[in-house]
Structure 1
Amino acid sequence: MPLRTLVVIPAYNEALNIAKTVEDLDNNAPEFDYIVINDGSKDNTIEILNKKKIPHIDSYCNLGLFGAVQTGFKFALYNDYDVVVQFDGDGQHKAKYIEKLVNQIEKGSDIAIGSRFVSESKPWTARMAGSRLIASAIKLVTNKKIVDPTSGFRAYNRDCIKEYALDPNMPPEPDTLVYMVRKGKTITEVQVEMAEREFGESYLNLPNTIKYMSRMMISILLIQPFRKVC
């Protein structure tokens, strides 16, 4: 029997992208349920979701990526889904690869990451410097090689759904992968392609990138290795 799968789509000010993202899901992954978490958008994202009758949960304030994704995990937990797929609302992730991620969960992986660099080389660019640094830090503390730890295109099994839904210290970020490796969870990567954001701007401008990298490195090296595994 196929695993019941929910695609969770966090969206903040994605009015220019969200309809196209959902259209991609409808056309290329119609067998999977999905829900958009409107994270207190200040543009007309909610109007588009309502007009097109797109399944969604509307937050009246901006919870941030963690809060939005965790809301989706809670919905999946309470509605008895077997798999959650985290899928960006900006059109960068491609729905045609969702089945490959779910297949990895069916084969026994706890977490499957849609990776740009399984069979493709990671470019030596300033943009990828942070990814390389995070991957090196994860390898240092876990001896586990994850080549694309910053990818937000991931699938999680039932046990992980419960953990990410209920634990307030489990944001869907690279640092918590360290904790999951320490718990003995199996993490695999699947080669995918990603598109460039077509509209809008990423929140990761230079100041936010520096803050993000600092937070990730501190957590990976100084917090996650010493968390009590339970």
Structure 2
Amino acid sequence: MKCLVIIPAYNEEDNIVRVIEKLKENYSAYDYIVINDGSSDNTAGLCRKMGYELVDLPVNLGLAGAFQTGLKYAYRKGYDYAIQFDADGQHRPEFIGSMLDKIQEGYDIVIGSRFVTEKKPHSMRMLGSNLISLATRLTTGRKVKDPTSGMRMFNKKMIAEFALNLNYGPEPDTISYLLKQGATIAEVQVEMDERIAGESYLNLSRSVMYMLRMLLSILFIQNFRKRREVKGR
């Protein structure tokens, strides 16, 4: 089974070499593609210098656009599975195998979750995560313990779904929407590291706005969303 690791990267010159070298040295069974999202630093230059597999977007599309680019690549190359993987080093590749085992049981999406067996810490960020979990459960009947985890694996059907439709961002509201449409989802316990270098775009104010946007979308907007069903190859 062919699995592609999709790595959206925006201004990750301090992290990208370490992330890719770890994948290449220890997890070469998985293919990877870096999607440089119009970085203003030397992310793309380093990837070219090191000979990494790279799609170099000329402008910044944001995470949704960059990830959808990666899934279009996976769709055209005929991959069976694809996983969203952070370029900042927080996601740990040793958990890809357990996620791959789980999705091969027949699930459409597998989330690398920090909270399958571990409890959420008490913080404002986790309060937001709990509210998104509650909103998802109220609207779908399904509990997602780590809805904001960016470590998500998709099967061939979902690769086609994301690749061929517009407005399919890799966010909790899309997961909620797909659950409503009958997608099957599982969670696998993982551990994540802290960012070593660089800065996350999610400061406090942006985090609050993100949580409010997700709640509004899950509770209301997704009810009016149109879907064009596609079939995986």
Cα gap change, 1:10/1:187 in structure 2, threshold over 3 Å: closer, same or farther?
same
The one-letter amino acid paired with 1:5 is C
Conserved 8 A contact 1:141-1:225:
no
Question: How far is the alpha carbon of 1:223 from its aligned partner?
Answer: 1.4
Superposition pairs of residues 153-168 of structure 1, within 5 angstroms = 153-168=151-166
Q: In 1, distance between residues paired with 2:216 and 2:26?
A: 39
The one-letter amino acid paired with 1:31 is A
Point out where structure 1 has 5 or more consecutive residues left out of the alignment. Answer: none
Q: Secondary structure of the residue that 1:81 maps to in structure 2?
A: coil
Superposition pairs of residues 51-62 of structure 1, within 5 angstroms = 51-62=49-60
Q: In 2, distance between residues paired with 1:118 and 1:45?
A: 34
Conserved 8 A contact 1:85-1:156:
yes
Partner of 1:77: 75
Partner of 2:100: 102
Q: Where does structure 1 differ by over 6 angstroms across 4 or more consecutive aligned residues?
A: none
Superposition pairs of residues 1-230 of structure 1, within 5 angstroms = 3-228=1-226, 230=229
TM-score (structure 2 length as normaliser): 0.95
1:12-64 Cα deviation digits (max 9, x unpaired): 00000001111221233210000000000011111110111110100111000
Q: Secondary structure of the residue that 1:189 maps to in structure 2?
A: strand
The one-letter amino acid paired with 1:163 is E
Identical-residue share of aligned pairs (%): 52
Q: In 1, distance between residues paired with 2:125 and 2:207?
A: 10
Q: Secondary structure of the residue that 1:66 maps to in structure 2?
A: helix
Q: Secondary structure of the residue that 1:8 maps to in structure 2?
A: strand
1:134-188 Cα deviation digits (max 9, x unpaired): 1111011111010001001010000100111111121110001111111111100
Q: Secondary structure of the residue that 1:194 maps to in structure 2?
A: coil
Q: Which moved more, 1:174-183 or 1:70-79?
A: 174-183
Question: How far is the alpha carbon of 1:226 from its aligned partner?
Answer: 3.8
Q: Secondary structure of the residue that 2:220 maps to in structure 1?
A: helix
Conserved 8 A contact 1:11-1:36:
yes
Give the superposed CA RMSD.
1.1
Q: In 2, distance between residues paired with 1:62 and 1:142?
A: 33
The one-letter amino acid paired with 2:71 is F
Question: How far is the alpha carbon of 1:228 from its aligned partner?
Answer: 4.1
Q: In 1, distance between residues paired with 2:128 and 2:14?
A: 28
Q: Secondary structure of the residue that 1:91 maps to in structure 2?
A: coil
TM-score (structure 1 length as normaliser): 0.96
Name the count of aligned residue pairs: 228
1:117-137 Cα deviation digits (max 9, x unpaired): 000111111221111111111
